[in-house]
Amino acid sequence: MADTPYRGRFAPSPTGPLHFGSLVTALASYLEARVHQGQWLVRIEDLDPLRESPEATDSILHSLRCHGLIPDAPVRFQSRRHGAYQNAIDQLLSDGIAYRCACSRKQLKEHHGRHPEHCRQGQSAPGNRLFAIRFALQDEICHWQDELLGAQTQQVTAEVDDPVILRKEGFYAYQLAVVVDDIDQGITDVVRGSDLLDMTAQQQQIYRALGATPPNWLHIPVILNEDGQKLSKQNHAPALDDRQPAGNLAAALAALGQKPPANLSQQPVENILAWAIRHWQREAIPLTSR
C-alpha cells in the first residue's frame, strides 16, 4: 500500500457520549492521519438500535467538534448502509464462506463451540426458526504486524470462533460491517483501541473473502479507570466535559505518552492540535494499558 494515500478513521458505536478513553483513540487516529498528510474520516457504527441512541450520536459528534476533531468528509452512518452489508452477505453465502445457524449460545457452549446441527455443512434446516448468519473461518495461525505493538500471532479456530455477521434479531454485526465499510471507504490504516486486537485475525479473513487487502493496524492501549477496568460506556465512564476541550486534549496527549508543555492547555484547541501534529511521536505511546 506504499503508494496509496493514507486514509484513517474513527468509528465509535453510539452507546453513550464520548469519554476520555474514546477521545484518546480519536486523537491518535486523527494525529496519525495528519502526520501522514492523509485524510481522517468519522463513521458512526450505529448497527444496534436496542443499545444505541441518536442522542449519543449527536453528543459524540458535538464533542468531536468541540475538540477540533473535524473529519475531512461527511460523517458516515452504518444505519444507512444495510444494502451494502446484505450484498456482502449474499456474496459470502453464494461463495460458501457464510452459513445459516440456528444454534443457541447455550448449545454452542455445551458443544465447545461446535455446532450440534452441523450448520457449517449446511445441514441445519432453519425452516421458520430464527437463524443467524456466521462467517466460516479457516483454521490458521495468523501472523501480522501491528504498527505499535509489533509482531502478533493469533490462533483462529474454524467453527469454534466463527463470528456472527447477521444476528438472529436481524441486525448486521460489527465484525462484517466494519470490514465492508473500511474497504468501501478505502481505509489504509486503522488506529483503534487494543480491546479490538483479538478481532484482527478474523477481520483479515473477512477482508480476503471479500477480495480486499487488509489495512495496516495500530492498536493503542485502552485507558483504565481507578479500579483497573477499561474506561468504557459499559463501566459508566463519565462523559467528556465539552467546556474544557483544551484540558481534555492535553490530558489525552499525555495519555498517549506525548509531552505537551504545561501551558499548552491554556491555548485554543487549534493550537494544541497543531502542536500535537508537529511533535507527534508514535514510539512514545505506552504499550500497556494504564
For 142, phi then psi, to 5°, come to -95, 125
Q: Select from 127, 124, 128, 129 the least CA-distant residue to 98.
A: 124
The Cβ-side half-sphere exposure at 256, using a 13 Å CA radius, reads 35
Q: Cβ of residue 36: shortest distance to ligand GLU, in angstroms? A: 18
Q: Cβ of residue 196: shortest distance to ligand GLU, in angstroms? A: 5
Q: Which three cell numbers stand for residue 50?
A: 436496542
* Residue with Cβ nearer ligand GLU (51 or 111): 51
* Residue with Cβ nearer ligand GLU (71 or 260): 71
Q: What distance in Å separates the CA atoms of residue 230 and residue 237, rounded to the nearest whole number? A: 9
Q: Cβ of residue 198: shortest distance to ligand GLU, in angstroms? A: 12
* Residue with Cβ nearer ligand GLU (154 or 244): 154
Q: Cβ of residue 12: shortest distance to ligand GLU, in angstroms? A: 5
Q: Cβ of residue 142: shortest distance to ligand GLU, in angstroms? A: 17
Q: Cβ of residue 106: shortest distance to ligand GLU, in angstroms? A: 26
Q: Which three cell numbers stand for residue 109?
A: 457452549
* Residue with Cβ nearer ligand GLU (136 or 218): 218
Question: Is the separation of the CB atoms in 156 and 142 below 8 Å?
Answer: yes
The Cβ-side half-sphere exposure at 277, using a 13 Å CA radius, reads 14
Q: Cβ of residue 112: shortest distance to ligand GLU, in angstroms? A: 27
Mark out the alpha helices in 19-172 (DSSP H runs). Answer: 20-35, 54-66, 82-94, 105-110
Q: Cβ of residue 9: shortest distance to ligand GLU, in angstroms? A: 8
Residue showing the smallest CB distance to ligand GLU in the complex = 192
Q: What single DSSP character describes residue 5?
A: P
| Degrees, nearest 5: CA angle 236-249-230 | 30
* Residue with Cβ nearer ligand GLU (124 or 188): 188
Q: What single DSSP character describes residue 221?
A: P
* Residue with Cβ nearer ligand GLU (123 or 235): 235
Contacts of 73 (CB under 8 A, 6+ apart): 39, 41
Question: Is the separation of the CB atoms in 237 and 231 below 8 Å?
Answer: yes
The Cβ-side half-sphere exposure at 105, using a 13 Å CA radius, reads 4
Q: What distance in Å separates the CA atoms of residue 101 and residue 126, rounded to the nearest whole number? A: 7
* Residue with Cβ nearer ligand GLU (48 or 161): 48
* Residue with Cβ nearer ligand GLU (73 or 130): 73
- Contact footprint for ligand GLU (CB under 6 A): 11-13, 45, 178, 192, 196
